Amino acid sequence: MTKRFPSLPALAGALSLLAVAAGLAVTQSAAEEARLVPPPAVDESAGAATETAVLAGGCFWGVQGVFQHVKGVTSAVSGYAGGDAQTAQYETVSGGGTGHAESVKITYDPRQISYGRILQIYFSVAHDPTQLNRQGPDSGTQYRSAIFPADAEQARLAKAYVEQLDRAGVFDAEIVTRIEPGHAFYPAEGYHQDYLTLHPTSPYIVINDLPKVEALQRLFPELYRADPVLVSAQTN
């Protein structure tokens, strides 16, 4: 199933939410989903100068947009993980039968931000980890909540963190985030990259994604940066 956009009768109401872009309002649903969850009790120790994390949490436009505004992140690329290279195209993935999830590959400096802090932002503002195979208006396994660990250590840390949050009862329902090791990441088509920054007045972005960036700034002010790190800036 592809992304659902507001119908024409609903468009006027959606456009009224453009105030979000100016920081004047937040949609009720997004405001309810964002919450500051506790940091992980166990985290990685800084090693290499560069690490990567691959996360899925609904439409990749919003997840990418959030992490492009995080200090210590040097790149955030929208793409696909969980399936084969042959099916890593948007129209195919949108059918829901490829095993892929819309994902974001986050490259970061572990001396500035840890894997655990990346996961804390992921669970706090990037998506709702209690929604099974859907986020907001989008449904299907391609919109599932999933972590694709780069190695056994990331898998261990992710599993321990999910168990920690569930034990603490942070969310009103059980976390359904899947931890799926052993999958390659495939970058998405160019028109999906930097989508939030390039289309800030799109009703879909206004309603579903700009509130996530606002929540990042509000809940993680020490990690927020105003100027996003864009894919286009790195390829020019």
List 20, 26, 56, 59, catalytic entry: 59
Distance CA 119, CA 40 (A): 8
- Has 218 been annotated as catalytic? no
Task: Compute the CA torsion angle 173, 174, 176, 177 (nearest 10 deg).
Answer: 110
- In sequence order, the 6+-apart residues with CB closer than 8 A to the CB of 233 are none
Instruction: Kindly report the number of other CB atoms within 10 A of residue 85's CB atom.
Output: 9
Buried b (16+ CB within 10 A) or exposed e, 158-188: beebbebbeeeebbeeebbbbbbeebebbeb
Catalytic (active-site) positions: 59
